[in-house]
Structure 1
Amino acid sequence: MTERVPDPHRYRIPPHLERLCDDAAIFPPGNAPLDVALAAHVDGSWSAYRRFLGPFIVSVDRLDELEPLTADLPPHSLWFAVTVPTPEALGDALSRSLAMPAIRLAGAEVALAADTTPRHLPRHLAGALVEAGVSSTEIYVEVPRDDRRDDVLDALADSEFDAKFRTGGMRADLYPGEEELADAILGAVRRHLPFKATAGLHHAIRNTDAENGFEQHGFLNLFLAVDAARQGVDSEENGLRDQLVATLADRDRDAVAERVAALEPSRAMAVRASFTSFGCCGVREPLDELTALGLIDPPGAS
């Protein structure tokens, strides 16, 4: 048998970490100029860690700016998702995105207005897909952090659409506490509803931001919390919520990394059936942290 020689120019990404990090470089706090963010995303050096990255994400209000920047890209070469402020804006946003030859549509992320009726949500989203001539794509609906959460989750669970949880932002109050995030995870897992996370997951491990003092969730803590939820919901294990809260609060870098590394491959992949990805404005930072924690092999590793 021929010994497999590592590619000296590429990170070796394990299957359960593939496409984990969506490229949200233009969003806060990174706020990269769109032309700079796009150039970095399609630059040749990106291929070194391309298996770690999800789509390039752009808000609908930047599509006119994006169009000329993609003019020289090969057809269907830009894996792309668009964010829209309401379900009513989705159809037009998808149509405008697909009008760019370079776009390979990964999906969309949809926020909800305060007066959106959850039970009508799937019908509105399905109508938007028909309007845009899209047979299927990944649509993530941002779940409100209020008393509508369960109704929205119920509506999505009975549909082809998935959930999105906001895990941070530019103010401390935009970060859900461990209890709130644990409840959101359990709500999705109990309904067999996939979800992605967005904002605030700048680091692998739970931390206090040195610049602003915000309490930030770690994406590996979230990974392990989803695993615990999947393992415990069928048996309605006593203390499951407390277990998730403790996992989300764990700041022991080595212990968290060891727990992730110890997961059986099939069990780790099962986590990704629930936790599909997270958006980050600086995709190299999580990659470098995973490498430092020994969960990803850097280029040239034997």
Structure 2
Amino acid sequence: MNALPSGGVIPELFRGLFDDAAVFPPGNLPLAEAVPAHRAHRAAWYAEAVGPFLCGAGRLGELAAAVSAGSASAGAAEGGAAGADDSVVAGDRPLKVGLVLPGGSIELAPALAAAAPFELAGVELATRDAAKAVAALDRLLPPDVPAAVELPRELLRGDGLDAVLDVLVDSPYRAKFRTGGLVAEAFPDEDELAAFLTGCAQRGLPYKCTAGLHNAVRHTDPETGFEHHGFLNVLLAAQETDRAAAAAVLAERDGEVLAKAARALTDRQIVVIRNSFTAFGTCSIAEPLGDLAALGLLSSPSPLHQEDR
């Protein structure tokens, strides 16, 4: 049985799970606020849970300006000004950025050039043609940079899912699946998500998710009525290769049931799960951590404040 560490240590099950999507909907945090907030996350006790700062290709110039302004302010506060070489440095290291390319392969080359001052942690490429996206990534992406390929959900239904996953499994790239959005239709039901998860599991294909997974447990949002998947549900379902079994895990709404299952995971199961479900984008970092603490799956040495979100 896996023993969950205490005293603020991030369990292996959750390390690097939360990509910082603060500037994306529904959070929409201004970059001038999101950059220092990300710096604070990377310096906090829970830093091992935090992935890269996600930024759309069209906002890289704005991001560089925000980082430069923050560095200049920090330098002035310490009695000196930040030099030109420090313009995109967060603290004493370049800002780790995950590039999000909603416009497809055509954005890749200019975005890679614009991202040169940052530490490029990955690329997420939206497309309607998986083979074309793979070819562009093969041609342009540096070999040490990971990438994920996202196709519209309507192309992943029926035989379309198998066709896309078969293209990706023969590549070095992950799949990406959208689990929510700003309208009810943006949220896949349990069976649709289970089809994606088990299709990837059967092929040994890693993936990330995005949108709608701020909370650990499946629930109905009381304000919108949207049905949100829980990221803990997805983690536990990631080890399933049977679609019905995965759907049942995704449908579970009892946090204590999910927490008990998480505590019972072996080290080997955790490796399998995290080799499959690698990360998800969240506009809040404190909210998912707070859920884990409330379920007894994370021991926090200090409170998670609203300003950490």
1:107 aligns to 2:129 (yes or no): no
Match of 2:12 among 7, 15, 18: 15
Q: Check conservation: 1:12, 1:299, Cα contact below 8 A.
A: no
The Cα of 1:125 is off from its aligned counterpart by: 1.4
Task: Give the direction of change, closer, same or farther, for the CA distance of 1:163–1:45 in structure 2 (3 Å limit).
Answer: closer
Structure 2 partner of 1:97: 115
The Cα of 1:16 is off from its aligned counterpart by: 1.9
Identical amino acids, percent of aligned pairs? 40
CA RMSD of aligned residues (A): 1.9
With the length of structure 1 as denominator, give the TM-score of the two structures.
0.86
The Cα of 1:294 is off from its aligned counterpart by: 0.8
Deviations 1:34-67 (A, max 9, x none): 1101111113784221111000101111111111
1:43 aligns to 2:45 (yes or no): no
The Cα of 1:76 is off from its aligned counterpart by: 4.0
1:228 aligns to 2:240 (yes or no): yes
Structure 2 partner of 1:137: 145
Task: Give the direction of change, closer, same or farther, for the CA distance of 1:80–1:45 in structure 2 (3 Å limit).
Answer: closer
1:294 aligns to 2:296 (yes or no): yes
Task: Give the direction of change, closer, same or farther, for the CA distance of 1:180–1:198 in structure 2 (3 Å limit).
Answer: same
Task: Give the direction of change, closer, same or farther, for the CA distance of 1:284–1:300 in structure 2 (3 Å limit).
Answer: closer
What is the SS of the residue equivalent to 1:278? Answer: strand
Which ranges of structure 2 fall in alignment gaps of 5 or more residues?
1-5, 72-88, 304-309
Q: Check conservation: 2:201, 2:239, Cα contact below 8 A.
A: no
Distance 1:30 1:143 in 2: 23
Q: Check conservation: 1:203, 1:286, Cα contact below 8 A.
A: yes
Q: Check conservation: 2:41, 2:47, Cα contact below 8 A.
A: no
1:173 aligns to 2:185 (yes or no): yes
Distance 1:63 1:77 in 2: 14
Match of 1:276 among 269, 275, 278: 278
Aligned residues: 274
Task: Give the direction of change, closer, same or farther, for the CA distance of 1:44–1:279 in structure 2 (3 Å limit).
Answer: closer
Distance 2:93 2:170 in 1: 31
Distance 2:262 2:184 in 1: 28
Task: Give the direction of change, closer, same or farther, for the CA distance of 1:40–1:30 in structure 2 (3 Å limit).
Answer: same
- Residues 17-166 of structure 1 mapped to structure 2, 5 A cutoff: 17-43=14-40, 46-71=43-68, 72=71, 73=89, 74=91, 76-84=93-101, 85-98=103-116, 100=117, 103-113=118-128, 116=129, 118-129=130-141, 134-147=142-155, 148-166=160-178
Structure 1 partner of 2:199: 187
Deviations 1:103-133 (A, max 9, x none): 21110111014xx3x333321211122xxxx
Q: Check conservation: 1:143, 1:153, Cα contact below 8 A.
A: no
Structure 1 partner of 2:244: 242
The Cα of 1:300 is off from its aligned counterpart by: 6.5
Which ranges of structure 1 fall in alignment gaps of 5 or more residues?
1-5, 230-239
Distance 2:143 2:108 in 1: 14
Q: Check conservation: 1:207, 1:216, Cα contact below 8 A.
A: yes
Distance 1:197 1:80 in 2: 17
The Cα of 1:215 is off from its aligned counterpart by: 0.3
Task: Give the direction of change, closer, same or farther, for the CA distance of 1:60–1:79 in structure 2 (3 Å limit).
Answer: same
Q: Check conservation: 1:40, 1:46, Cα contact below 8 A.
A: no
With the length of structure 2 as denominator, give the TM-score of the two structures.
0.84
The Cα of 1:204 is off from its aligned counterpart by: 0.2
Q: Check conservation: 1:226, 1:275, Cα contact below 8 A.
A: yes
Distance 1:52 1:94 in 2: 26
